[in-house]
Homo-oligomer: A and B are copies of this chain.
């Protein structure tokens, strides 16, 4: 017998996809409540338990946030609890220090081979490059160079970055409607070149932690590529494995 296609998609996954579509379309925006479980159950014509299971999975993936008595909300980076979700740097001693972002430059360019491949855009498409410093307690710790697809981030300027009091990803959400949901980081140890040594106030050739990050939005679409150089003298990169 010829094999039937083995796709069996449970109801709750189909519901999940429907909710996902609303999120991706921007119909329900970051920080907003989504309809109640009861209403979604009615709308989709399934039981509340099925809606519940769909939302459960999405909450586990940090796409939604449940708050008992209030409702279910679209996750946002503008939430203190979400702030360190993608930033794994921690001071050697002392509690959590809030970093301060210092935008250095913002310019336009055309995507080279590597940027094009990683951002999944045609080579030569417009991109925006941002460099900035992250300081903890006034001391430089991370030097970032950030590559963004020009089409998605049209209108980004250095002034915008400098004036913004929010985190970068919050800015992306509010000004460009782009929500970061997942990232991959590739870590290496490298020697500081002249420029980064100067910026990070370490000796030339000093060992730095190189962190390359590709960040994805809905539908596994890459929308950011960045390379950070971390000075790991008074801070370290913390990773919890489970």
Cα A61 to Cα B185 in complex, Å, equals: 22
Is A62 in the interface zone, CB < 8 Å from B? Answer: yes
B residues less than 8 Å from A61 (CB atoms): 242
Chain A 84-97 interface mask (CB, 8 Å, partner B; 1/0): 01101000000000
Whether, in the assembled complex, A78 has its beta carbon less than 8 Å from a beta carbon of chain B, the answer is no
With contact pairs A232-B187, A232-B188 given, residues A241 and B207 touching in the complex (Cβ less than 8 Å):
no
Interface string of A176-194 (1 = CB under 8 A from B): 0000011111111111000
Which of B62, B86, B189, B239 lies in contact with A230, CB distance below 8 A?
B189
Q: Which of B86, B207, B239 is close to A189, meaning CB atoms less than 8 Å apart? A: B207
Report if A208 contacts B (CB, 8 A). Answer: yes
Chain B CB count within 10 A is highest, among A181, A182, A188, for A188
Q: Are B185 and A187 in contact (CB under 8 A)?
A: no
Once bound together, how far apart are the Cα atoms of A210 and B205, in whole Å? 17
